[in-house]
């Protein structure tokens, strides 16, 4: 009976957690603010307690999770409508490097040491901190870098090159299944897809792991059964 009870409570807490996650919306982990993170951890902790601790009342736990979800939505509403609320709940960005000079006071305020800063700079491709003009510690915990003028890549405009218009590609086949709705969205149909694959000397859609296409008619196809390379190729 104990096993059945844990199983039932686990399934219930999982479903409830999934529903509340859908209601509160989704963000990438890197985009979570401190408030989002603490709220998610709290709701997860309540769900875990509901699953394994039989003394925890199911109704009370569900209500507590729902209250936290409601508060998350309410805070999101406030931060959308009020700059003051946004600054209170999510904080404000902090400048760590300004005109090439490290602002140590702001680093201490945000509990970032020089090794942390250098690590984040290397992750962005800056192995010499002298290449950085500005560094801003964002409210989601990431650091944005602006390089010095002589350290940044040249732009297309500076090189005098006329760029081609970037096309947007839609997934029209995934795992051999044709996505007719996506084809229709770019003004194409299944017949066009089949004819294009055939004219390019490719097998039918069911043999594709992925096919992407643009409204302009450009198509990129990736077959399912590609022979894997020799494992020693990169040794």
Indicate the SS3 state at residue 218.
coil
Look at residue 61 and tell me whether its pLDDT is greater than 80.
Answer: yes
Statement to judge: residues 46 and 123 lie in one domain = no
155 is a domain residue: no
Number of domains in the chain: 3
217 is a domain residue: yes
Percent of all residues in the chain with a pLDDT value above 90, rounded to a whole number: 43
Q: Residue 144 in contact with residue 138, Cβ under 8 Å?
A: yes
Q: Residue 92 in contact with residue 86, Cβ under 8 Å?
A: no
pLDDT at 228: 67
188 is a domain residue: yes
Mean of the per-residue pLDDT values for the chain?
85
pLDDT at 12: 83
197 vs 29, which has greater pLDDT?
197
Statement to judge: residues 68 and 115 lie in one domain = no
Statement to judge: residues 20 and 69 lie in one domain = yes
Q: Stretch 149-161: mean pLDDT, rounded? A: 80
47 is a domain residue: yes
pLDDT at 51: 83
Statement to judge: residues 52 and 20 lie in one domain = yes
> pLDDT of 62-104, one tens digit each?
888 888 888 888 888 888 888 888 888 888 899 999 999 999 9
pLDDT at 29: 53
Statement to judge: residues 52 and 113 lie in one domain = no
pLDDT bin (cut points 50, 70, 90) of residue 59 is confident
Domain final residue pick, 37, 67, 87? 87
> pLDDT of 158-178, one tens digit each?
788 877 777 789 999 999 999
235 is a domain residue: no
Q: 56: burial class by Cβ within 10 Å (0-12, 13-18, 19+)?
A: middle
Burial 116-138 (b: 16+ CB within 10 A, else e): ebeebbeeeebeebebbbebbbb
Statement to judge: residues 78 and 32 lie in one domain = yes
Statement to judge: residues 69 and 122 lie in one domain = no
228 is a domain residue: no
Statement to judge: residues 72 and 109 lie in one domain = no
pLDDT bin (cut points 50, 70, 90) of residue 30 is low
Statement to judge: residues 138 and 205 lie in one domain = no
- Distance, CA of 183 to chain centre: 26
Look at residue 184 and tell me whether its pLDDT is greater than 90.
Answer: yes
Residue carrying structure tokens 């097998």:
203
What are phi and psi for residue 152, nearest 5 degrees? -95, 155
Look at residue 235 and tell me whether its pLDDT is greater than 70.
Answer: no
Domain coverage including residue 117:
94-147
79 is a domain residue: yes
Statement to judge: residues 19 and 50 lie in one domain = yes
Statement to judge: residues 128 and 194 lie in one domain = no
pLDDT bin (cut points 50, 70, 90) of residue 1 is low
pLDDT at 87: 83
Whole-number CA gyration radius for the chain: 26
200 is a domain residue: yes
203 vs 75, which has greater pLDDT?
203
CATH of the domain at 189: 3.30.240.20
């Amino acid at each position: 009976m104990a096993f059945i009870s844990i199983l039932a409570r686990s399934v219930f807490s999982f479903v409830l957690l999934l529903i509340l996650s859908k209601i509160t919306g989704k963000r990438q982990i890197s985009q979570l603010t401190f408030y989002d993170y603490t709220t998610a951890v709290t709701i997860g902790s309540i769900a875990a307690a509901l699953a394994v601790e039989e003394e925890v009342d199911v109704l009370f736990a569900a209500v507590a999770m729902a209250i936290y979800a409601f508060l998350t939505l309410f805070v999101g509403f406030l931060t959308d409508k009020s700059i003051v609320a946004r600054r209170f709940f999510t904080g404000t960005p902090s400048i760590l490097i300004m005109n090439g000079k490290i602002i140590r006071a702001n680093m201490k305020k945000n509990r970032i040491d020089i090794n942390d800063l250098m690590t984040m700079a290397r992750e962005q491709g800056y192995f010499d901190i002298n290449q950085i003009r500005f560094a801003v510690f964002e409210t989601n915990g990431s650091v944005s870098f602006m390089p010095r003028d002589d350290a940044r890549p040249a732009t297309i405009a500076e090189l005098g090159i006329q760029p081609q218009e970037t096309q947007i590609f839609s997934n029209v086949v995934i795992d051999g299944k044709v996505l007719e709705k996506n084809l229709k969205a770019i003004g194409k149909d299944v017949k066009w897809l089949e004819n294009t694959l055939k004219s390019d000397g490719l097998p039918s859609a069911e043999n594709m792991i992925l096919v992407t296409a643009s409204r302009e008619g450009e198509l990129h196809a990736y077959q399912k059964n590609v022979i894997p390379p020799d494992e020693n190729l990169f040794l």
